[in-house]
Amino acid sequence: MKNLVKKFAAVILAAALAVACLSGCGINWNQTDEGVSVVVIDDQRFYLDELKLYIYETQYELENIYSFYIAYLYGTTESFFTDTSYGSSYWDYDLSMATARLIQTKVLIDYAKKNNIALTDEEKAAAKAACDETMPNLSVVLAKAGNPSEELVLQYFTENALANKVYNAFVADIDRTFDEEKMLRKSFEGVSVTAKTSYTETVEKSSTDASTAAADSSAAAESSTAASTETKTVEISAADQEKYRKQVAEDAQKMLKDGHTVTEVVAEYKNNLYVTVSSISSKALSKAEATDSDTLTSYPYYEKAWSMTTGEYAVIYAANSSKVTVGYVLHMTDDDDAKARADAKLDEIASRKSAMFAKKYAEILKNYKVEVITDELAKLSFSGSVIPETEAASESAAESESASAKESAAESESATESATESASETEGETEAEEAETETEAESK
């Protein structure tokens, strides 16, 4: 599960921090913090007090993105940021991401000055409004960053807006034509039925064993009853596994046809001795996923789902990635999901913009000499959460898991991992995806 989170993290962070990647260019920030320079671009130095704002704002984004996983898998924010079981920690990732953001912003702002790109009065007012709206949530961020002045914080937001304007100029002429067949999405839902290999039951001990246990007990009357039973593991034969798997799969299909929800089907078999029934998260399937051999190894039911039409039900039996035969009960809800198709187009546009921006930015960056003073960064260590306590408490309550959510965790992981596998995780593509979302929505 933790491995999945690491993979999931790379993709989500790329999207969610993309706006932040274009955030805050303080050309003349307070050069305090003992004048410690951390980044040098050509002959201009940038100092630790400025970088700290980037660092803790990035941490704020991370904590919000992964709040569920922090609570469910790690227990504490500190455990999440300092875990090194997969190599570098998320705190190390925070530092490197924040530094990259600072460098990118400086370069984009310099590009704006050289190419006469500036904010209009309306855009400046919008940046001011964004600043006023956001700052109450960043109280801890600002405290850890050394409490920069209101003027500098506003500068952070204003220059963020200018950097985003440069970004939009870079990707303005992106190709917006599509192969409609590739954009087709078929939405389906269902459940998986996996036979258990054994179950446990409580049985009575033999009369001799029970009498002995009772005689040795200091509280004979009560202990006799407890000592007279034992837990026994019952193996389920291969033939019975097949029988129960088929029976439950067919019954589950009937329940879906009769109008029961996936959640209701899963609940029906919650305590079944012979099978485990899990939900297959609602999925908007593409042809690429349904025909990719590697994907089908983990999701063998995709191929069948792609062949189905709206309102159709089907049951197939196939081996999963662990070579265990599973019954998959499928219900095609929409064989041409218009919303999912539109979302796929937005995702494709975002991908194209990201690639175009990364290419143009790389060309511009060649004109600058950049130095990062890593020794100074190495002195920084994780120092606690940056989410205000009231906000954290609210989020914690919202994240409380229900039993049904836990039961469907495996399928949720599968859906996430599938999305992850199809996403690019290169550093160039990390730089700008989320900044495009609002522009894309407007274009639609």
The pLDDT tens digits for 300-341 are 999 999 999 999 999 999 999 999 999 999 999 999 999 999
Determine the 3-state secondary structure of 330 from DSSP.
strand
| Integer Cα distance of 342 and 339 in angstroms | 5
Residues 6 or more apart whose Cβ sits within 8 Å of residue 406? none
CA-nearest of 412, 236, 242, 263 to 327 is 242
| Integer Cα distance of 307 and 298 in angstroms | 18
Longest dimension (CA), the chain: 95
**Backbone angles phi and psi of 185, in degrees to 5:** -130, 130
**Backbone angles phi and psi of 45, in degrees to 5:** -100, 145
How far from each other are the two terminal CA atoms of the chain, in whole angstroms? 37
Determine the 3-state secondary structure of 39 from DSSP.
strand
Per-residue pLDDT at 165 = 96
| Integer Cα distance of 382 and 342 in angstroms | 41
CB atoms inside a 10 Å sphere around CB 141:
23
CA-nearest of 186, 188, 189, 190 to 335 is 186
| Integer Cα distance of 300 and 351 in angstroms | 27
Per-residue pLDDT at 211 = 52
> Vertex 35, ends 29 and 38: CA angle to 5°?
80
Per-residue pLDDT at 428 = 38
Per-residue pLDDT at 258 = 97
User: Which residues, listed in sequence order, are joined to residue 45 by a DSSP beta bridge?
Assistant: 40
Per-residue pLDDT at 23 = 37
CB atoms inside a 10 Å sphere around CB 235:
8
Determine the 3-state secondary structure of 273 from DSSP.
coil
Task: Extract the residue ranges of the chain whose pLDDT is less than 70.
Answer: 1-34, 206-227, 389-444
CA-nearest of 354, 355, 346, 337 to 286 is 337
Sort residue 384 into left (φ over 0), alpha (ψ -120 to 50) or beta.
Answer: left
pTM above 0.85, yes or no: no
User: Which residues, listed in sequence order, are joined to residue 325 by a DSSP beta bridge?
Assistant: 319
> Vertex 192, ends 190 and 195: CA angle to 5°?
155
Strand order in the sheet with 275-285: 275-285, 186-195, 325-334, 313-319
